Every structure is written in C-alpha cells, then in structure tokens.
Structure 1
C-alpha cells in the first residue's frame, strides 16, 4: 500500500490528538468523602442510679437510632427532673420482680432498666403502659438497630417498672433525665 504525504500527515495528526486526549491536562477532582462521625466516649458500662421516685406513671417507651448510639426513651408525663429516678446496669440474666421468673433476652449482654415510676395509675390501679411481663415491648421494632437486639417488659411492682434491653455486647451507655423523660443511650462501639 502506498501512502501519500497528505495521508501520512493526517495519520500523524490523528495519533498526536489521541495521545493528548489520553493524558488529561489536570486530574479530575475527587468527590469529597463524608467525614467519619466522631462518637463520644467516656460513658462507661458501670451501673448508673438516681434515687428519686415519682407516683406519675410511665405511659410510653420508644426507641431511636443515631449515628453513635441506639436510644430508648421512657415517657413519664408530669414528672420533673428531680422526681425521675432510675437504676440502670448490666445483669447476667433478667428476672421478673416478685415472681423471680427468668425471662430470656437476646443479644450478647443485657441492660436492666428500673424506673422509679409505676406503669399504672396509683389511685385506680389502671395500667398506664400496656406491657406484658416477659414479653416484647409493645410498639417497639428493633429491626435495623446496630446495638439493640431485644427489649422485654418486666413488671411494674411497688412503684418500680423493669425493662430489659438486649444489646449486641457490653458497651458504654449513659442515662439522661429530662422533663417527663428518662433516656438511655447505648453506644455502638467503645
């Protein structure tokens, strides 16, 4: 095959153009990655207590997922922060107050929450929270939670209400008292 000078020039120009197109003059910017969430530390896993008590009844238990922890909120409307007492800590097994019946709780560790508030109206004895001893907490769905694996109602006995939280492992937790609420947060990691 015989090439003309024009054909050679066109081929050389095409090769040079392809070579330049293959090497960008400037690197394309890389999309910024989301910064890792800085999670608080220092909560610890030792028991936490506050000895106050109230006759205002527990009305609801709800949960929430956050970047660093799973949260359980105990609603006690009308109770001030100085009235909301609790005892929260890890236990080897969960037993119902009064009967001593063992309740199985899933997960690698169990946190027992004792609210110093009844789950019934003290004047009428009418239940204010629909928990059934030894059963899952009504209305609580833990699908997709990183730390919470199970949540069982204990009993409400002599003004105290018990709940078990099955967690993935023994992890740090904190307890906060807010007007009308006790909040238990369990970290995803140490």
Structure 2
C-alpha cells in the first residue's frame, strides 16, 4: 500500500494556498510599478511569486516666492536664470483671450531685476513695452505720476472690463522704484513702472509669457 500520495497532494494544496495569498496581496492599486520575479524551491515543488516595487514621482524642490520672483525651480515658475536678450517684441493676444491682471510683484537678482504680472482668465496676453519720461493714461491722455528717472510702460492686451485692481508686492526692488496699474480701456491695461536708472534702454529689457498660471515676466538688466 502506497501512503506517500496523500502527503504529496497535501503539499501541492499548501503551495496553491501560498500562491493564492501572494497574488491577493499584489492587487492593482493604480500606481506605476517595476515587477521582479523570485523563484522559491519547496519540498513539494516550485512556487513562483511576484514582488512589486512601487515607483513614485518626487516633485522637485523649491517653490516660487511671491516677494522675490524667480526663487523657485518648479516647472512653470519664474526661473532665476539670466534673462533673454532684448528688446521686447510687440505681441498680440491670442484669439478669445479674456484676462485680468491680479498681481504685480518684483524681485532683484544677480545682474537684473524682474517684474511679474500674474493674470487670471483664459488665453495668451499681448504686450507692448515702451520707455518714456512722460507716460499718459489710455483714453484720457492724462499724465501718470511715477517715482524715478524714467517710466517703463507695459500695455497688456486681452484684458476684460471688470475693473480688477491688482495687488502689488516687492516694490521697490533694485531699479524698480514704483508701480501704478491703470484701469482697463478697450481691452488694454497700462502698467507704469518707475525706474531709478535713466540710462536703461529697451535693449536691456526682455518680456516672456509663462502659463499655469498666466504670467508676463519682465526682466531688466543692470
């Protein structure tokens, strides 16, 4: 009489229980994973189990500091790298653009100063930058007072008419002495920046549009 068969069957059943338990613990949780296979020798046969190493994305360090734009190194924030060469080009807004300037902030960096116009809404703004000693308001033509040797005017196109008044922070900063936001007129809002240096030219200034959120970044080399 052969008595080894029940023991062998019992060993096989135990192996199946182990495999079932391991598979139940490795359920799909929606994460990216690398799978490695490990083979374990047992007295009754071979048991194969899957070991899952979960892969998670770690966000890069750094956040954008609203009082000193450019401190952050996350994608989409104002990078503190040297600004591109000027002069800034005149640009038109994208189709259907409806934006409000919600914040104007400034910061100083090694060799240049930065002004950031943050916006809320949809689309891509257009802009026209000019240097003048006698800025005037759109529509009325009234003179605009500012602090400094000359003014940098930033006409932002694609603006709504809801009268949002942007907050201002980080002023003064380096060559930036004052900021004044005028009311929107026919889809354009004028931002007047007072500069302490009367020798700055448009060749020293660059303008870049960023998104998430929408921002117009003005860099002034000194």
TM category, shorter: 0.5 to 0.7
Q: Could you say which residue in structure 1 is the equivalent of 2:116?
A: 73
By how many angstroms is 1:90 displaced? 0.8
2:85 corresponds to 1:43: yes
Q: Could you say which residue in structure 2 is the equivalent of 1:128?
A: 164
Q: Is the 8 A contact 2:103 2:168 kept in 1?
A: no
Change (3 A) 1:66 1:85: same
By how many angstroms is 1:67 displaced? 1.4
Partners of 1:75 and 1:97 in 2: CA distance: 21
By how many angstroms is 1:108 displaced? 1.7
By how many angstroms is 1:78 displaced? 4.1
Larger radius of gyration: 2
Q: Is the 8 A contact 1:61 1:74 kept in 2?
A: yes
Higher relative contact order (CA 8 A, sep 6+): 1
Q: Is the 8 A contact 1:111 1:167 kept in 2?
A: yes
TM-score (norm 1): 0.61
TM-score (norm 2): 0.53
Partners of 1:40 and 1:139 in 2: CA distance: 24
How many residue pairs get aligned? The number is 134
5+ residue gaps, structure 1, are 1-38, 131-137
Secondary structure of 2:100 counterpart = coil
Partners of 2:208 and 2:107 in 1: CA distance: 15
Root-mean-square deviation (CA, aligned residues, Å) is 2.3
Q: Could you say which residue in structure 2 is the equivalent of 1:97?
A: 138
Partners of 2:191 and 2:83 in 1: CA distance: 25
2:171 corresponds to 1:142: yes
Q: Could you say which residue in structure 2 is the equivalent of 1:13?
A: none
5+ residue gaps, structure 2, are 1-80
Partners of 1:89 and 1:97 in 2: CA distance: 14
Q: Is the 8 A contact 2:132 2:152 kept in 1?
A: yes
Q: Give the structure with the higher percent strand.
A: 2
By how many angstroms is 1:128 displaced? 2.5
